[in-house]
Amino acid sequence: MANTKEPSASVGKSIARPGYAAEHDEPNRISDFEVAASYNWLDEKNPTILVPGIPPVWSPPAIAPALKPDYGPQYVDQNTDRNPNSPLDSLILAVQTYQPDFDFPAVDMVSDRRPLRKLYGFVTGETDAFEFGAEMVGNTALFVRMEKQTREELPSTTFHGYRQAFEEQYTKLSASAKGSTSHHRIVRYNFGGFVLLVRSGADVYLQELVKGQTSLEKPDTEDLLSQVNVFETLSLGSRTATPTETKEKQDGRVTVVQGGQMIPHAAVLELTTRSKFAKRPFDIEQKMPDLWISQTPNFIEAYHRSVGYKTYNQPGLQQGKFDDIKVKAIREQLAKWETVNASALGKLATVLGQVIEEVKKAQGPCIVRYTGLGDNLRLSTIEALPSLSEDLKSLFHRKE
C-alpha cells in the first residue's frame, strides 16, 4: 500500500467555526466559470498524463449482464499515488499545456475538490476528521490533499459492491485515450471574492451532449451504434481496478502527451452505484456539495439487485445486476442548492479567507487539521510539504 508521510508539525493557529456568514463584496455563488484544462493519467511506469484528457463514454449494454463483486487494488488518490513528491504538478502542467497564456498569478487558490468539501462540512457542523496541506506561492494558496493511504486493497472475502465492474461494462474508452486510468478536470471560477482553480475527477460523458443536443434524451439506435463503433471495448473501470506498484519513479517530473479531446463540461457526469434494497436510500443532497464545487452538471444513479450466488475463489459473494439506472441533468438543481445554502457558502468563503490569511502569516507550509471534535480548525506549521515542483512554482510569480 502507498501511504502519505506525516510531516512533523508545530502547534499553531486555531480557526473557529463561523457562527454567521461575513459579508463579502461578491455574492456567495460561483461566477465566471470556465474549464481550464483536463487530463488523463496513463498507465506508464513514470508519471505521464494525456492533455487534454477524455473520459469514457456512457455506453450501456442492451441487456444488463450479471456482474461479479469488486475486489483487488483500488486508487484512493491517484494524483498523489503517481506523483507523491509533487501531486499538484499534473494539474498545473495540464493547464499550462492547454492554455499556454494562462494567468497563474491571478489565481488566489489552487486545490483538489476534497479539501474544499471538507471545509464545507466543517462550517456546516459535520464531524468527520480531516487534514490537508497548505502553502503560499506568491499570492496564491496551494491546498494539497492528504490521505492516510493513496490506494487500498479490497479483499475478496468481503463484499464491496459492483462499482468497478459496472464501469467496465457500461462505459467505453476512446482509442485516443488508450492506457488511461482516470480522467481529471480543472475548472476556474470566482467564489467569495476569490479566484479558484479546482481539480476533480469525472467518471463518464454523454456522447449525445457533445454532438450538440441540449437534453438527456436517448439517441436513436442507429446513432448510438455509430457512436459505439469508434470506441474500443476497453473500460476505465477495468484499469482503475488494478493499480500497480511503481516504486521506480522519475524525479517527480510528469511527462505530458498531447492528444485526447476536450469534452464540453455540459456533457460530463459523475455516478454512484447502490443496492436497490439498501436500508438507507441514496439521497443526492448528500452529494450536492461535491457536485457544486466541481460544477458537475449531470449524474447517474445505478441501482443493483442480487441475482444469485457464485464462487470467485471465496464462497458467498453474490453476482449483481443493474436494472434501475437513472441519468439526470442536475444543473438547475445545483443552482437551487446554491441559493438555498447561501448562508453556509458564505461561511465557507469566510473560512477560506481565514485559512489563506493564516498561511500567509506562517510564511511556510502548514497542515490544516480538524479532529472531528469541537468547533475549531488547527493550523500548524511544518518543515516541508509535497505540493508543486519549484520550476512550476515560478509560474505564480509576476515577471517584472
Annotated domain spans of the chain: 9-396
Instruction: Supply 217's cell numbers.
Output: 434524451
User: Residue 381 pLDDT > 90, yes or no?
Assistant: yes
User: Residue 120 pLDDT > 90, yes or no?
Assistant: yes
Average pLDDT of the chain? Answer: 86
Instruction: Supply 205's cell numbers.
Output: 460523458
User: Residue 318 pLDDT > 90, yes or no?
Assistant: no
Segment 199-206 shows an average pLDDT of 97
pLDDT, position 248: 39
User: Residue 282 pLDDT > 70, yes or no?
Assistant: yes
Under 8 Å between Cβ of 232 and 172: yes
User: Which residue has 455516478 as its cell numbers?
Assistant: 271
Segment 189-215 shows an average pLDDT of 87
pLDDT, position 152: 82
pLDDT, position 252: 59
pLDDT, position 223: 34
Which segment of 217-226, 271-280, 335-344 scores lowest on mean pLDDT?
217-226
Question: What's the whole-model pTM score?
Answer: 0.86
Q: How far apart are CA 386 and CA 85, in angstroms?
A: 5
Confidence of residue 159 (pLDDT cuts 50, 70, 90): confident
pLDDT, position 251: 52
Q: How far apart are CA 51 and CA 39, in angstroms?
A: 5
Confidence of residue 229 (pLDDT cuts 50, 70, 90): very low
pLDDT, position 364: 94
- Which helix (H) or strand (E) element contains residue 345? helix 342-362
User: Residue 35 pLDDT > 80, yes or no?
Assistant: yes
Q: How far apart are CA 101 and CA 104, in angstroms?
A: 9
User: Residue 9 pLDDT > 60, yes or no?
Assistant: no
Angle in degrees, CA 101, 52, 34, rounded to 5: 60
Confidence of residue 327 (pLDDT cuts 50, 70, 90): very high
pLDDT, position 231: 31
3-state helix, strand, coil in the chain (%, to 5): 25, 30, 40
325 vs 157, which has greater pLDDT?
Answer: 325
User: Residue 232 pLDDT > 90, yes or no?
Assistant: no
Bond prior to 365 in cis (omega within 30° of 0)? no
Which segment of 3-17, 92-106, 163-177, 294-308 scores lowest on mean pLDDT?
3-17
Q: Count how many residues are written for the chain.
A: 400
Nearest C-alpha neighbor of 43 from the set 257, 244, 202: 244
Question: For the segment 125-142, what is each residue's pLDDT rounded down to a tens digit?
Answer: 999 999 999 999 999 999
Under 8 Å between Cβ of 32 and 190: yes
User: Residue 313 pLDDT > 80, yes or no?
Assistant: no
User: Residue 266 pLDDT > 60, yes or no?
Assistant: yes
The proportion of the chain whose per-residue pLDDT surpasses 90, expressed as a percent, equals 71
325 in helix, strand or coil? strand
Confidence of residue 153 (pLDDT cuts 50, 70, 90): confident
